[in-house]
Structure 1
């Protein structure tokens, strides 16, 4: 490993551009300023510290094991650095790093084979069709509440093998627990998050106990079977993985489905193109996630002094890898500000991270979003906005809170 130069200026003393913005602002409000700053330097100083804006440097940081997931993840940014919730997040897959993360990931990855994802294809197609078909006959809907919100929870429950009658309860648990990963979040909300997380843990423990006696054809059974170099997941790790799947696989998917359809609404030519050529669905997923992502920044902390791009990141420095800016970097994406679902020669988007922390469920998420975009554009013609589509803040998990449209029937 290249030694860190003692002569390199600290990232805080290198005269980098400073960008100030309201952290509760929406992505659309902040993007123009981020892209202006990106044209000046690949690293800037933002509201919470250094932000990496260029694609190449963002990918480098995400693949460099010297930049690690900070304990408590986004809680630290919000002033929560201890307590039951801090401990709980630190024990989750999101908060894991180093040897512990590598061990769990090595075991779990065996349960995320293409076969495991493909066996859900029929369920995914059936689920989105059941949701969109009655909506398509009404001539109007709110995409967020009528289509995106009810979509992913049943799929994750089917993946885990949870019975249909419990789907709504899983959705409620997910809603409450995910508040800890939204911005802003205050300690006042911690007791309610912990109560719901405890109820979910108890439910999953019962599921695991039943599966150990009768393994079936679902992901939870695969996780119990999964083994790597003689290592298996223990009960606590199985509980953690089931909760991680619910949280990572529901709110992210429902928000991105809404965000992608929001972008397509603004580009009727692209909506019609996908309707006419449904084989472009997977390309449309990648392009709408690049153009209108719901995850805009990935948080890392320097585990030691690290030199990049001529500056030194002192150990302990919080670094925001601004994937939204990186995914619009004109140095790597031609006409980066244009939505083009036929875009072909491009590097992979960074929304799913990179390196050791690349999202385990990326293939499943892409398939779910692709089927949703294909079904909605196939069944709904000539969508028109009938009201505003406000987005949640840039920090945390964004996406539209409402997307009312009318369409031809």
Structure 2
């Protein structure tokens, strides 16, 4: 028989409290979160316990007793059944346990250097082309002019979709992602999402059929090749994975690129440092994702009664791992609020998650972000933010909704410089 826990119930432990609305941005809660963090590694937030310390956040993300609630973004908006809920709950993000382990094992084999090495030229071409469009104006909105259109061509090139069809993927991902990202002030049409998702699935079916007899060096071919102990991916799984990669690889990169550009703009010395020392690009990515992450909250639910961090979490307890606060933990980072791309005390950031659901595309995302930041700091030498840059709710994929900038220089740098 299980021994009864003597740990205090997390709901009865007189923990610090965090009070914020569903539309609050990470910056809205920062001061309160850090004040609570100084008092205890866990606080009681408006939706339940929030893990604030780096050590406990890292441990919970690795603890299989706490699982990602299936269809959480839809459930938050009152949708707990139906075809869209089923589709999301059976995605790679929605699965857990043996089914999830099996798919990760197969998919991991597809994320080889061979599958991504050919993307470097595409990445540079895309970001330089976006900068070319705004150079003469001397101003732009980073969100709409650069960050939003940036990742889709790269994801399409990764999968092997022809350039002529990239606009289709942009439209499909824009629609489908509404189901994957909780934004309290956004309503969506379930039928329209299912229509877009169905069109994407049909397109992927045609791509798979064409690849079966003519495998190439793209990610879709690698997924078809992927095998583990005689096991292979089914057409349903290929369909699901392609959609998942498009969603995860598009909106995260969009939002993080805008967030990273903003924090660099607001620290001109760091913008100049990266321009003069492009070899710091990967450190700039890590530091901007630590300081200003687009993914600030990771939901988890206790699968059973769990003793964790000295407290009892009853079965079903909904928990938020506040990686935004954890990445500012002064017990881990010296002068944690300081933004410094040459920082050399960086343990692994928690922005890509951890444990079984650690982001499969983390290395590709780093490469995309690093290349974009190098090009932007080199080609736009003197940049400042020219207007407000409000952020979306921290409860979903966050980042600035708009980021107006102006840039001037004595002589614009060309893409070939």
Same fold (TM over 0.5): yes
- 1:282 CA drift (Å): 0.5
1:30-179 alignment, distance < 5 Å: 30-179=29-178
Deviates more, 1:231-240 or 1:380-389: 380-389
Q: Which residue of 2 aligns with 1:232?
A: 232
Q: Secondary structure, in 3 states, of the residue corresponding to 1:336?
A: coil
Distance 1:188 1:272, change over 3 A: closer
- 1:190 CA drift (Å): 1.8
Q: Give the distance between the partners of 1:21 and 1:260, measured in 2 at CA.
A: 24
1:352 to 2:368 alignment: no
What's the TM-score, normalizing by structure 1?
0.96
Superposed CA deviations along residues 201-260 of structure 1, whole A, max 9, x for unmatched, are 111111111111221111001100011111110000000110011100111101110110
1:190-201 alignment, distance < 5 Å: 190-201=190-201
Gaps of 5+ in 1: none
1:310-329 alignment, distance < 5 Å: 310-329=310-329
Q: Give the distance between the partners of 2:31 and 2:56, measured in 1 at CA.
A: 20
1:243-258 alignment, distance < 5 Å: 243-258=243-258
- 1:5 CA drift (Å): 4.7
Distance 1:286 1:4, change over 3 A: farther
Superposed CA deviations along residues 40-86 of structure 1, whole A, max 9, x for unmatched, are 11111111111101000000000011111111133233332222221
**Native 8 Å contact 2:178 2:188 kept in 1:** no
Q: Give the distance between the partners of 2:187 and 2:271, measured in 1 at CA.
A: 42
Count of residues in Structure 1 that have an aligned counterpart in Structure 2: 407
Q: Secondary structure, in 3 states, of the residue corresponding to 1:94?
A: coil
Q: Give the distance between the partners of 1:187 and 1:210, measured in 2 at CA.
A: 37
Q: Give the distance between the partners of 1:4 and 1:241, measured in 2 at CA.
A: 41
Q: Give the distance between the partners of 2:305 and 2:197, measured in 1 at CA.
A: 36
- 1:135 CA drift (Å): 2.3
Distance 1:82 1:280, change over 3 A: same
Deviates more, 1:388-397 or 1:74-83: 74-83
Deviates more, 1:99-108 or 1:207-216: 207-216
**Native 8 Å contact 2:23 2:185 kept in 1:** no
Q: Which residue of 1 aligns with 2:5?
A: 6
1:247-326 alignment, distance < 5 Å: 247-326=247-326
- 1:127 CA drift (Å): 1.6
Deviates more, 1:183-192 or 1:397-406: 183-192
Superposed CA deviations along residues 21-56 of structure 1, whole A, max 9, x for unmatched, are 011012211111111111111111111111101000
Q: Give the distance between the partners of 1:40 and 1:205, measured in 2 at CA.
A: 53
**Native 8 Å contact 1:117 1:363 kept in 2:** no
Q: Which residue of 1 aligns with 2:408?
A: 408
Superposed CA deviations along residues 301-324 of structure 1, whole A, max 9, x for unmatched, are 111111112110111111111111
Deviates more, 1:242-251 or 1:188-197: 188-197
Q: Which residue of 1 aligns with 2:28?
A: 29
Superposed CA deviations along residues 117-144 of structure 1, whole A, max 9, x for unmatched, are 2221222122212221342343111111
Q: Which residue of 1 aligns with 2:412?
A: none
Q: Which residue of 2 aligns with 1:341?
A: 341
- 1:188 CA drift (Å): 5.5
**Native 8 Å contact 2:296 2:351 kept in 1:** yes
Q: Give the distance between the partners of 2:14 and 2:362, measured in 1 at CA.
A: 38
**Native 8 Å contact 2:155 2:246 kept in 1:** yes
Q: CA RMSD in A?
A: 1.4
Deviates more, 1:196-205 or 1:285-294: 196-205
What's the TM-score, normalizing by structure 2?
0.95
1:383-398 alignment, distance < 5 Å: 383-398=383-398
Q: Secondary structure, in 3 states, of the residue corresponding to 2:383?
A: strand
- 1:199 CA drift (Å): 1.4
Q: Secondary structure, in 3 states, of the residue corresponding to 1:135?
A: helix
Q: Which residue of 1 aligns with 2:414?
A: none
**Native 8 Å contact 2:334 2:345 kept in 1:** no
